[in-house]
Structure 1
């Protein structure tokens, strides 16, 4: 059997057709139809609230059509990420921390097929503590639950990086770091935007990680601009130094007595976080995991609990 796996983030939309038995991605479409832009169009449309779900379904329909002809229809569509947020298709309440790493714990809503949309939709909600929120990472965490040793710290790098602590096979707490968003704002809209350029320079990245341990962060960020003007510092080196400085600052907040540390992402972030962790503490046990595979595993685990596909 097949299913549609959708990660609908704030800025991006990723849809995959997945074979449930093999977990193979058969087809994939990635489009810049993030929840934020769709919500803006929805507000501008001035349509009544009663038509909001239909408006968002139109985006889903176009994305499914772009996959090409599906061999079997209808098949279930699983949505996680910002689809369940206040700016999403349907706002759902958060699942509360702590929780067991079992897909039965997930909160969700089910939209039955209709004449305009033939696929049953399952929208998975996020998770929260008293002080922090996440949408999407909880599904990936469920997809990591089959690792031999579940306990440790799970890091989900990204726009809003998450550090989730798992003890006794239970997610107990987490913190969010605005690392990715701050990096993007600095390289695109700040005074240092003309002093940086995307590129690879490992030594500059590592230097940034090292300086994060003792540097005055706000001063060091501005120093990138001043070094460019006064010394003609290479913009690629500046770019990688800033990346190391911010990632290093984030990771130094970790309790390194809680290990192993699982980094759940894709390259280049996967390698950057691993390199930064090794630089900060060379003794820490680091395990790297694919966020793409974790998401598919999480969606499949959810479907298995609903008895929609055979348990693999």
Structure 2
């Protein structure tokens, strides 16, 4: 039990809790849900706050429910097992707002911002709430924890680049500029969110079909490549061609979804062509991996890109939370 740690990634719309062995980063059991920070905060506002329940207590009660689920699945009593929480739980709508860390940000996690809570009778788990990082014009919560873990894993394998842009695709893709063991700057690209908005609520929704978005057939792949090529043109104009593609019968609705994806991913990645002095590290989860890998190849960025396997990215989040938990124990 002494090596156990509960690692919680609590995003705006998604919750994931994992029981891990901190000695070897081994995953023992996990639970996931759609009970993200936003829905829990709204529930607290609607019910908990009116009943006089403190926000922190309301979030702890939700955590207890999820910890009990993990304990049941693992058939292990988890009282006194500490928990590290990253993501949006440290935001203004989370369990408790924790100030952002600032740049430059050390890759060993020594400059991370967190809040420590002792175990109590009602919540028998030591807890750390990990905050994010801010620059002069950008913020992130959660990706920096993955970056810390990935940096440590690559370093232990002897293949961590000294200078690179780490690309973390997602709803809000992050491009992180790392040099000599420090995060110097980062950029947020709203690639995934814009795709979801265009495909679900805009005038383009009737022109695309995302139901078979994992089908990289020859026709769908060609549409994706066409979208990458079209990203050379002004994006706001090219977005409307998604509609005309369908109106004129140029592409099917399914192909059009791949075209839209290529258009947006191309708009995100093409500026990297002008940053030839930087090595690139693609850090993509399994869902987006084939899209970004294909884009890297088609944009002739492969020769200066290291592609991290999706499984290692998953392990990196665990490694980062373990490192940060161990660091805070040295400070408390």
What's the TM-score, normalizing by structure 1?
A: 0.93
Tell me the equivalent position of 1:14: 16
- Whether 1:165 and 2:177 are equivalent positions in the alignment is yes
Of residues 104, 110, 113, the one that matches 1:107 is: 113
SS in structure 2 at match of 1:165: strand
- 1:288 Cα deviation after fit: 2.4
What's the TM-score, normalizing by structure 2?
A: 0.87
- Whether 1:302 and 2:324 are equivalent positions in the alignment is yes
- Unaligned stretches of 5+ in structure 1? none
Structure 1 pair 136–283 and aligned structure 2 pair: CA distance change class (3 A):
closer
- 1:305 Cα deviation after fit: 2.3
Contact 1:274 1:286 in 2 (8 A): no
Contact 2:48 2:55 in 1 (8 A): no
Tell me the equivalent position of 1:291: 313
Of residues 1, 4, 11, the one that matches 1:2 is: 4
TM-superposition CA deviations, 1:184-222 (whole Å, max 9, x none): 111111111122112222222122112112x23222212
SS in structure 2 at match of 1:144: helix
- 1:158 Cα deviation after fit: 0.8
Tell me the equivalent position of 2:202: 190
Structure 1 pair 282–265 and aligned structure 2 pair: CA distance change class (3 A):
closer
Tell me the equivalent position of 1:53: 56
Higher helix share: 2
Matches within 5 A, 1:90-239: 90-146=96-152, 147=154, 148=159, 149-198=161-210, 199=213, 200=215, 201-213=220-232, 215-231=233-249, 233-239=251-257
Contact 1:261 1:284 in 2 (8 A): no
4+ runs deviating over 4 angstroms: none
TM-superposition CA deviations, 1:38-76 (whole Å, max 9, x none): 111111126168610011112111111121132453111
TM-superposition CA deviations, 1:137-172 (whole Å, max 9, x none): 111111122322242001111111111101122110
Of residues 271, 274, 292, the one that matches 2:293 is: 274
- 1:127 Cα deviation after fit: 0.3
TM-superposition CA deviations, 1:276-309 (whole Å, max 9, x none): 122112454222233311111101111332458x
Q: Which shows bigger deviation, 62-71 or 292-301?
A: 62-71
SS in structure 2 at match of 1:263: strand
SS in structure 2 at match of 1:26: strand
Q: Distance in 2 between matches of 1:284 and 1:221?
A: 30
- Whether 1:65 and 2:73 are equivalent positions in the alignment is no
- Unaligned stretches of 5+ in structure 2? none
- 1:113 Cα deviation after fit: 1.6
